[in-house]
A = this chain, B = another copy of it.
Amino acid sequence: MNDTDTGFVVMAWRELLARHAEVSCALERELSDKHGLGVSEFEVLERLVEGQSLCTEPDTVKFRVQELAGQVHLSQSALSRLIARLEREGLVARALCEADRRGVFVHVTEEGRRRHAEATPTHRAVLSAHLFPHLVNAGYAPPVSDEASRPA
C-alpha cells in the first residue's frame, strides 16, 4: 500500500462523497418541494411498495422495522421515528405481529402507494439527470430544475 495507492483511494472517496452529496441534496429538494417527502421516507415507501407488488393480496406483505432499517441504512431508532412520521401522514400503518408480539409489521396504505407513485417520476428524473447526465442530454430529458445541487 504505497503513497500512489493512497492518493488514489482518497480520490475515489472524495468522488463518492461529491456524487452522494450532489444527488441526495438534489433529491431532497425536489422530493420535499414537490411531494413533501424526504429521501429516506421515499426510500422506505419504495421498499414497502416493491414488497407489496410481489404479492397478489393487498396488505399482505409486511415488513419488520429492522428489515427496513437495514435496507435504507438507518439505525433502528431512526426507522422507528420515520415510520411514526409516515404513519402520522397516513402513508403506512403498523400492525401487531401475533406470531411474535414483540415485532411490528409495517405496510403501505393506499394513500402511501399513491404518494409514492406520484413522486416516482421526480425521483427517477433527478437520478437520471445527476447520475447519468450524458444520457439525459442525449434527447429524452425529463424536466428537472437544476440549481438544486448544493445544501446552501
- Total residues of chain A contacting the partner, CB 8 A: 37
Q: List 17 A-B contacts (CB under 8 A).
A: A1-B124, A1-B140, A5-B128, A9-B124, A9-B131, A9-B132, A10-B124, A12-B127, A12-B131, A17-B43, A17-B73, A18-B73, A21-B73, A73-B151, A74-B152, A76-B152, A78-B152
CB pair A151–B10 under 8 Å, yes or no, is no
Partner of A20, one of B17, B77, B135: B17
A contact residues vs B (CB 8 Å cutoff)? 1, 5-6, 9-10, 12-13, 16-21, 23-25, 43, 69-70, 73-78, 124, 127-128, 131-132, 135-136, 140, 142, 150-152
